[in-house]
Amino acid sequence: MKTADIAKRYLDYFEKNGHTIVPSASLVSDDPSIMFTIAGMVPFIPYLTGVVPAPYPSAADLQKCIRTNDIEEVGKTARHGTFFQMMGNWSFGDYFKEGAIGYAWELLTTSEADGGLGFDEKDLWVTVYEDDDEAEHLWQKVAGLPKSRIQRLGREDNYWTTGQPGPAGPCSEIYVDRGPRYGRDGGPAADDNRFLEIWNLVFMQYAIDNVRSKTEFDVVGDLPKKNIDTGMGLERVAFIKQGVENMYETDQVRPVLDRASEISGKKYGADAGDDVRFRVIADHVRSSLMLLSDGVTPSNEGRGYILRRLMRRTVRSMRLLGVEEATFPELFATSRDAMKAGYPELETDWDRISAYAIAEEETFLRTLSSGSTILDTAVSKAKDARKTTLAGDQAFLLHDTYGFPIDLTMEIAEEAGLGVDREAFDGLMREQKQRAKEDAKARKRAIADVGVYREFRAKGETLFTGYSDLETESSVLGVIVNGAPVQKAVQGEIAEVILAETALYAESGGQVADKGTIVGPGYELEVLDVQRPVPGLISHTVEVTRGEVGVGVAATTVVDAVNRRAAQQAHSATHLVHAALRDTLGKGATQAGSLNRAGYLRFDFSWGQALSDATKSEIEEIANNAVRDNLEVTTQVLSLDEAKAAGAMALFGEKYGETVRMVDIGGPWSRELCGGTHVSTSSEIGIISLIGESSVGASNRRVEALVGQDAFRELTRERALVAELTGALKTPKDQLAARIAELTANLKAAEKRIAQFEAQVLQQRVPELVATAARAGRVTLVAAGVGSVGSADDVRSLVMQVRERLGSEPAVVALAGEANGRPVVVIATNEAARGAGAKAGALVRTASTVLGGGGGGKDDLAQGGGQDASAIPAALDAVRTAVEAL
């Protein structure tokens, strides 16, 4: 049974049984405390916790998930996969234990011919929570399971919580017996390798508090509404139904494994170590493909870092299989073909996805090359110093800064006869992970428990009136101070205010929040920020500037009209720039992020190379032509499918509901799904002036522009600057660039002549410096100040020439000068002096300490400096004393 067929049977069954079929949410989680959708229940958390009223009594879905906690275990077991798909059915106060058990049993045991999954009843076992007599009774009653195949387990295995105070409840898990060749008999409690969990039913019925650990908490009562949260792993069911050993061998994953085998010339199943590498490749390519399809792009932080790590582990695994050339064009295309039946967007968006994948592989192959050079140098230094191990901090630097895998570092070091201080490396990795954990905890603490919004959201969605109105009368539904609801906030306090209606725009879609005020009887609030902490609810962060604001009082939101108008200009201009980019570069130039604020726009788009000046001018001209043409800006609210059918662009990083708002500027030329505020006609934008274009990643570019009055002011400043230059240089405007180029060339030539003259002057000083040579202990010493110099290079040149003149007898040259107001000292030794114990690096450190700075170098030549130029004579005296003491 194909993986896609299993998913279809699941969804068809629950749709037939009255469930609303919900499309998968993005892998990019809405929850700011987690980067990815790590479990099937994540998109439903607002409904399960009651913060947001559920829009349907029951639902079913196939949810895409990414989990990277066990990334090092991928490929080693049958269970660990980075990307996986969870089939779930959900009840929000509709059916409970008996219904959930009945649905699960019927679907699992109904024959394939009748649309079920066709599991043999005798192979199915169940676990229930140790105190859940009701669940055990229902399994016997509904499914006819004998008591011998129902096992009771404790909180560690069969109790679900969020880890926080709130909803919780016992679980019941369904296992399939894979047979005696996979382990011993005795049910899941005896062997969870032979008995494999395929479905978990969570009976969310209690409220808990005082959570001390996963198993230590207090049950404080029943939930007012009992929910069902179930999850069945699609990959697990697939490898059982397909009769293969693990998820890597199923129809959606195995093709990549086979293609990697063909490319490498190595056979899967022939070597245990290679088999792990093949499975890592198959998993990571599919996971990277799905992340790219949801708009994640490779970077050095956050989600992008996880994606980059997956892709680089793939390259590393192919290298260990003997393949050093690029393979992503073939591997990713293979994964696309295996997955597109369930995710057709992989094919329609293939150009963008493949561009990122190919660019990232090319970048990492270059990194491997440069990292190898850095590592070779480190290995060489370690061997010269007669060390047997490479320092852990060097290995960590290669890993953390250059993305160079530790196993590759160990491999190359081993080939050179060195070990790696793995203990020190692992210690640095632990410190880094701990910092990451603390950062994640800090981010969690910084976000108020969304449960605080539950009672406000229960009163309905906040009505946004700002598309048509800049002032709206409403009433205060709630006041929150320091994360807790209060009855009022007084002058000077920072608070969150929840209103029934608002004209103030909440930050979203790249557009920053409105500025403005909220006023009411006896009080005034300055609006600092406007956000949507949970779906459907708008929260205003305010400072109470006058009086006090309390729950239930009247409130009027007043938008800063000037700021709003400028923000609208910028947002509409962003749409025009996007359309102009696609007009000029093609459909591959799709949005990867944006920021719109009053007078300014920033637009990131997928593109692999810098734009030429001519291209930037063309984009700017097309966008401004659209402004000149006074195109009508219209909006429609319609279903997502209708909008897509009309050609509207659904942008990555955005979340869309069943109904969407489509913004047209001049008809289909610019048609996007957008919840932002816009001008009525394009001419209201005024001017769009591109001020920058830069790289923001291997395959992303960024353009920045000023809009409207801000663009006009910038152009005025530039005009004034040009006028000033033409006057100062007495050159017509159209000849200004040539005149500046001529002056620049003349300046460079003059600087070159000056440098040559200074070099001649310095060279003339060599004889006089040689003449100052005097005996100091066992060596001849030249220690002198050379006054003001152009740079440290001048002093270095003098030192080396003087050393050359002193011949082969033991000699040390120490010269110090002042460059750009700061002292610099350079010391050189010849071979005979080094044999007598004179080391330039040690002597420079002696001098630099006196100068109030530091320095270093090799035994034959070293350089240092400091802060106090007046200490140069004392520094040279210190060098003389050190040489005499040899």
Length of the chain measured in residues: 886
Residue with tokens 């399960």: 48
Spatial contact of 468 and 66, defined as CB atoms under 8 Å apart: no
Dihedral sign (CA 250, 255, 256, 261) = positive
Q: Provide DSSP, 811-877.
A: EEEEEEEEETTEEEEEEEE-HHHHHTT--HHHHHHHHHHHHTS-EEE-SSEEEEE-S-GGGHHHHHH
Helix axes 234-241, 3-16, angle to 10 degrees: 120
Structure tokens at 711: 């663009």
Amino acid at 770: V
Residue 1 DSSP class: -
Structure tokens at 263: 């490319």
Spatial contact of 856 and 845, defined as CB atoms under 8 Å apart: yes
The CA angle 401-407-408, to the nearest 5 degrees, is 70
674 among annotated binding-site residues: yes
HEC profile for 130-150? CCCHHHHHHHHHHHCCCHHHE
Per the rule left: phi > 0, alpha: psi between -120 and 50, beta: everything else, 460 is left
Report the alpha-carbon distance of residue 462 to residue 443 in Å, rounded: 26
284 among annotated binding-site residues: no
Spatial contact of 833 and 807, defined as CB atoms under 8 Å apart: no
Report the alpha-carbon distance of residue 355 to residue 333 in Å, rounded: 12
Residue with tokens 């080391």: 839
Distances (CA, A) of 261 to 321, 708, 874: 9, 57, 70
Structure tokens at 38: 């790590």
Give me the long-range contacts of 795-798 (CB less than 8 A, separation at least 24). 795/819, 795/824, 795/825, 795/826, 796/826, 796/861, 796/863, 797/759, 797/762, 798/762, 798/765, 798/766, 798/769, 798/826
Query: Binding-site residues for Zn(2+), please?
Result: 571, 575, 674, 678
Query: Binding-site residues, please?
Result: 571, 575, 674, 678
